[in-house]
A and B are shown apart, each in its own frame.
Chain A
C-alpha cells in the first residue's frame, strides 16, 4: 500500500531524516495561521496518490500574500481525476543540488537494491532509460542492518558524504517498515543541510497487519469485499465474467477470451481449496456486475473438490449463464449435480471459453 507524501515524511522524520518544515491543511483558510512557522515563500503540494503530480498541476508556489488564494485554487482542482482533500504546505528550500535515492526489492538478486543518481528530479525515469550509467545500482545483503561503508562509497561516488547518514536511515525505514519501495526524489542539499524534499513509501501488502495498518486504501470497496472472502479481484469492462483458481490460470482464461475476440468483465481468483460457500459468494459477486451475461468458471486443482464447486454454483442460483470447466477430485459427482440442474460442464479451457463467447454474442 502506498503512503501519501506527508505520511511518508512523518515516518522518515521519525528515523532522523530531515524534511522541510510543513503543515497539513484541509481547508484553504487554515493556511493563514500557519504561515509564520514556515517563513515567506511556501510550496503547496496536493496529497494525492498519482504519479507525475507536479506536471499535472498538483504543486504550486506562493508567497504570504497569495497563499490563501493559491490554496483555494489547488483545493478546487482534480489531479489526474483525483480530488484534492489535503494539502501539504511547506517552506521553500534554497536548493543547492538535487539528488535521487531509492531503495527497492530487486527480484533478480532477491536483495534490497539502492539506486542513486547525481541528478534527481522529475525526469529521473527517462534519464535512466536513456543512459543506464545515470543511476548507480548497489545491492545490499538483507542480513545486514546497516549499509557497510564500502558499499556507501560505491553508492555516493563523488556525491557529498553528508548524504550517507540519510541514505542509511532510509535503509532502516526500508527494512523496519516492510517497504517494497522507499524513495527520496529529490534529495536536496542546501546551505543549512540535507533534506528529503519529497518522500515515497510503499508498504508490502503481506505485512500490513504487522505494520499496524488495518485497511488497505489501494483497494476499492468491492475489491475489499472480495478480499474478505479470500479472493483476488479486479474489475474490467467486458461482458464475460471469469472465475478461476490461481492467478496464472485465471489470467490465462482472460487471455483466451481476448484471443477469441471477447471481452472479460473481471478477474476473480477464488484461491486454493475453495468450498461450496466461497464458490457461491464468487458467483454472486461476479453476477452482480452490470453487463455480465455469462460467467466462465475454470477450476483446476488437487484440493478443489468438484462436487463442492457444483453445489456452490447451484446455491448461487444466478441469472447469467454459468459455463463450467473443472478437473479434480470428485469430478464425476460434480458433473452429475450440474447436469441435473441444467448447467454445462465442458472438457477444456478452449471449449468453455468458446461456449461463453456464443452466449455473450
Chain B
C-alpha cells in the first residue's frame, strides 16, 4: 500500500459539516474493522470542545496536533476557504492533505499546493474521492465494500468511475493494493507521475490501472514515467471536443487533449487501453 497504513493518524478539517460528520463515521468504522487508528481529531473554527461521533473537535489544526499524534488530514472545507485550510494544515505540520472539496478556484489550488510543497506536505486532490488501501486504511469518501485486498494499484482522475473499475476488479477476483483518486480539476497536487512513482516503490503492487479523462496529457506523462505493467482506460472518447482555451492551452498540451488522441498516444507507447471498464480485468490478467 502507499501513502500510509493502519497506523496513520488522521484529522478531519470541517468535521462538523454534513459531509465531514458523515464520512468521519464511515472512516472510523473502516478503521475499527481494520484495527487501525482512523480519525483521531477534528477541526472546525469556533467549535472547539464538541465531539463528532466521539472524535474531539478543535478550533485549529495546530491545537488538534498539540493533543493528538496525526500526520494526515482529510479536508471537507467549503470551496472558498479550502485553499486556506490546506495551507493551515501544511503550516501546522500535516504531511498528507487529502482534499475532497470540489469547485475550488484554480488560483487557490495553485497557491495551496505550492505552499504545501514548501512545508513538505503532499496534497491529494482537490475534487477527489481520496484513497483506500483495502484492509489498512481509508482517507476520504470511497465506498469501501467494493474493494478487496490484492496486488493491483488503481489511480484515477474520476470518482464514481473509479468505484466502477474497483467493482469490476473485485468481481473478477482481482484485489487492490491502494486505490487513489487524484481529482478531476485542472490543477491537482499528486499527479499520475507521483502516484505511479509510489506504486513502483511498493512491494505489494504488481500492476496498475490508470483511469484518465479528456483534457491535458498527464496520463501519458504518468505512463511514460513507470516501469510497472500498466493498463489504462480513458473516459470521454465519444465526448464532443473540449472547449479550447485560446492558443495557450493548445500550445501547452501539444495541440491535443481529447480522449481519442490520448488513446492513440498510449497505443503508440504499446500500453493496453481498455475500450470499456468491463474489459479492464482481462487486460490486467494479461500483464500480471
Contact = CB atoms under 8 A, between A and B. Distances in A.
Given A110-B114, A115-B248, A255-B276, A300 B160 contact: yes
Nearest to B245: A181
Nearest to A238: B238
Nearest to A328: B143
A200 interface: yes
B103 interface: yes
A339 interface: no
B255 interface: yes
Of B26, B236, B254, B275, most buried by chain A (CB within 10 Å of CB) is: B236
B276 A256 contact: yes
Interface string B212-225: 01101110010000
Nearest to B144: A302
A138 interface: no
Contacts, number: 182
Interface size class of A (residues with CB under 8 A): 35 or more
B247 interface: yes
Given A300-B164, A302-B26, A251 B105 contact: no
Interface in A309-361: 327-328, 348-350
A105 interface: yes
Interface string A260-273: 00001001000010
Given A143-B115, A248-B160, A252-B161, A258 B252 contact: no
Interface string B133-173: 00000000111000000000000111111111001000000
A279 B237 CA distance: 26
B187 interface: yes
Interface string A187-218: 00000000000001010101100100000001
A103 B111 CA distance: 16
B240 A248 contact: no
A297 to B, nearest CB: 13
A175 B184 contact: no
Interface string A267-288: 1000010000000000000000
Interface residues of B, number: 66
Contact of A207 (B105, B111, B245, B253): B105
B245 A104 contact: yes
A142 interface: yes
A125 B247 contact: yes
Interface string B12-41: 000000000010001000000000000000
Nearest to A348: B278
B160 A251 contact: no
A248 B114 contact: no
B115 to A, nearest CB: 6
A302 B249 CA distance: 35
A307 interface: no
A358 to B, nearest CB: 18
Contacts of A175: 107
A245 interface: yes
Contacts of A349: 164, 276-278
Contact of A300 (B104, B163, B214): B163
Interface string B178-202: 0000001011110100000000000
Contacts of A272: 159
A7 interface: no
Nearest to A179: B107
A350 B22 CA distance: 32
Given A124-B247, A129-B254, A349-B164, 7 more contacts: A107-B253, A108-B191, A110-B113, A111-B114, A125-B250, A206-B106, A207-B106
